[in-house]
Amino acid sequence: MAAASRDLQGLLAGLDPTADVAQRHIWLINLFDWLRGDRASPQAAIGRVQLLLDAIEARPELRERLRAWWRAFTQSVDLTTLLADYGFAPRTAFASELGERLRRKILPGTPETTDASDLFRMVLPGVFDAGWIALLDETQLARIGALLADAALDADGSPRWRHTVMDAVTYCGSQVVAAGFSPELRLRMSPELNATRPFHALMADLDELREQMFEQPPGQSDEAREEALQAAFVAFRDRLDACRAGASSVYTHLEDNGISVGLVFRLRQLRERVLRIRELLDCLMSPNPAPSVARLVSRLVLAGGERNSIRALIASNSSMLAAKVTERSAETGEHYITRDRASYAQMVKKAAGGGALTAFTVLLKFSIYALGLSAFWAGLSSGLMYAASFVAIQLLHLTLATKQPAMTAPAMAARLRDIKSDAAVDDFVDEVANLVRSQVAAVLGNVLVVVPAMLGLALLIQLALGRPLLDAAHAAATLNSLSLAGPTALYAAFTGILLFSASIIAGWTENAFVLHRMDSAMRYNPRIGAFLGAARARRWATFMRTHISGFASNISLGLMLGLLPAFAGFFGLGLDVRHVTLSAGQIAAAAASTGLAVLQQPALWWAVAAIPVIGALNVSVSFYFAFRLALRAHSVSLGDRARIRSAIWARWRSRPISFFLPA
């Protein structure tokens, strides 16, 4: 404490009200650095505050110098902008705010500024400051207020700080009104709430509150003035709540008609400004404003931390989009879960058809490689071919096994909204068993058909051309590349991430399709109707609304499978993809080209051993990421997740066969 006292004496000796702006602000930054100390605990910072107050109050000339410094500070820095705008985005677009936060992460700030927000960010930069400020008691706050009390009053005789806070309320109110009047929000609000016109009257109510607070008619008693002030405050507060309710009604529209990150961003900004107005009003209306001011400053520190965080920006504004994306994936995923013998047999048939069609996909892949194209064009050609093959599987109502997990995971998580009872947990475990069983059926149906189909195609080509589909070198290279002894497991996990990414693209695309009402445009747009005809336009609109998610998923997955290895090779990363059905087909093609002698080669059996590993990683990785996203979107607690894990392990120990065969 003695060392801290010596440091404080040196710090107070540097207090100079006549210094330039930069030096005054540097002194303020150094003062708060001293208050924080080593950040061991907020209580230690409170002890330093006490030491500072004692030191200043013991020296009258130092107290007067501090007040002179404070007057110079408040005259050069506009605190209204800090109170009104700190923690809010200066722009209303999500992308612009993201760029602004990136700029602040990279570029340093300067204390030579009259922007109170920039200075506040340097003086109180972290969450630790919010902690110790919140611990200040009323006695300490009163002492701080007495030290900073400015004898100068405004023309109406009221303290200057009250006008500053009221100006901040006015600025925030104008931003709320501007947001409420924007067409993006106004056209999506509840018609019933919008009919009350809350945003139209907000500023008029604020003007009435300002008049009652700062203007006293001649002859009006203090009691009458207080009653009028309270009435004006209640009217403005109720109007503010009506504005907030009107803005909140937009969320219902978004739930039904698609989510826009930009709209969610504007709604969150509006809500936070309403809360800021309430905090500022607490400072104005409280008989003892010091605790309210301390809470406001603490809240500003937290808001500044959130304002600087790129992760917080993305997480807070994309949560609703994630929920909607997983919800739309869940609608599709329900079709992939089998619950009885009939649906199980149907899944096997669809997977068998998908495996047969994938054999032709493998054949086309080898044909593209035979052209000897450069890496990019070979990857693009393969990607387009994969996309066409996957779309064909979709339109023929067949199944590609690895496409299922990322779609079924949101369908599973959607059942966790009401998981409090044991019966609900048991029902969810039943669904897990149904899901795993469906995945096993689909993978087996794909693999057990693609292998004989590929063998048959390879033999037909050999009979037609008089030579094997692959020469000996290419056949051996294919088997070695798919060997379990190599990086196949890593590539299979990477492919699982691509499968998950394709499901996200699918959900996002369908959400955008609904948000922008593309089905309605296709159905009723005059130009489209003139080109297609009214009946055909309606059919196309219905068709696209039904299949847009599948198209987006299949096309994006195909292009990623083809192009990402080429892009990774450009950067020397050496990444590749391993899809279980495609890999099984490639092994069959290589084996058929080599002949019966391949059965004596270890390379074949290492490649065959990799197939279950590839399938397990494709399915589990894509399901894991999709399920985690869905859990977060549905706000499933950690406690409920632990209960679910315990129930699943209990089912595995008691009835393992239920995960593979229907009852």
- With both helix axes pointing from N to C terminus, report the angle between 222-257 and 198-214 in degrees, rounded to the nearest 10: 160
Strand ranges inside 444-545, DSSP E: none
Band (pLDDT 50/70/90 cuts) for residue 151 is: very low
User: Which range, of 62-71, 141-150, 524-533, 568-577, averages the lowest pLDDT?
Assistant: 141-150
Nearest alpha-carbon partner for 105 in 90, 94, 117, 121: 121
Q: pTM for the full model?
A: 0.67
Nearest alpha-carbon partner for 475 in 594, 608, 605: 594
- With both helix axes pointing from N to C terminus, report the angle between 21-36 and 42-57 in degrees, rounded to the nearest 10: 130
- Asked whether 173 and 285 are in contact (CB, 8 A), the reply is no
- With both helix axes pointing from N to C terminus, report the angle between 472-481 and 580-594 in degrees, rounded to the nearest 10: 150
What integer pLDDT is reported at residue 182 of this predicted model?
87
**pLDDT tens digits, 455-511:** 999 999 999 988 999 999 999 999 999 999 999 999 999 999 998 888 888 878 887
- Is pLDDT above 50 for 274? yes
Q: DSSP letters along 647-660, please?
A: HHHHHHHH-GGGGT
Most confident of 85-89, 191-195, 258-262, 492-496: 492-496
Nearest alpha-carbon partner for 647 in 419, 495, 334, 490: 419
Q: What is the mean pLDDT of the chain?
A: 84
Structure token pair of residue 507: 């959900």
- Is pLDDT above 90 for 608? yes
323-514+547-659 CATH choice from 1.20.1080.10, 3.90.1330.10, 3.40.30.10, 1.10.3470.10: 1.20.1080.10
3-state secondary structure of 601: coil
Question: What does the alpha-carbon distance between residue 340 and residue 174 come to, in Å, rounded to a whole number?
Answer: 60
User: Which range, of 87-91, 377-381, 471-475, averages the lowest pLDDT?
Assistant: 87-91
Q: What's the rounded mean pLDDT across residues 358-386? A: 93
- Is pLDDT above 70 for 406? no
Buried b (16+ CB within 10 A) or exposed e, 184-217: ebeebbeeebbeeebbebbbebbebbbebbeebe
**pLDDT tens digits, 130-144:** 899 999 998 999 898
Most confident of 93-107, 118-132, 399-413: 118-132
Structure token pair of residue 597: 């002698």
- Asked whether 447 and 615 are in contact (CB, 8 A), the reply is yes
What integer pLDDT is reported at residue 22 of this predicted model?
92
Question: What does the alpha-carbon distance between residue 371 and residue 375 come to, in Å, rounded to a whole number?
Answer: 11
Question: What does the alpha-carbon distance between residue 61 and residue 55 come to, in Å, rounded to a whole number?
Answer: 11
Question: What does the alpha-carbon distance between residue 633 and residue 318 come to, in Å, rounded to a whole number?
Answer: 10
Q: Where exactly does CATH 1.20.1080.10 map onto the chain?
A: 323-514+547-659
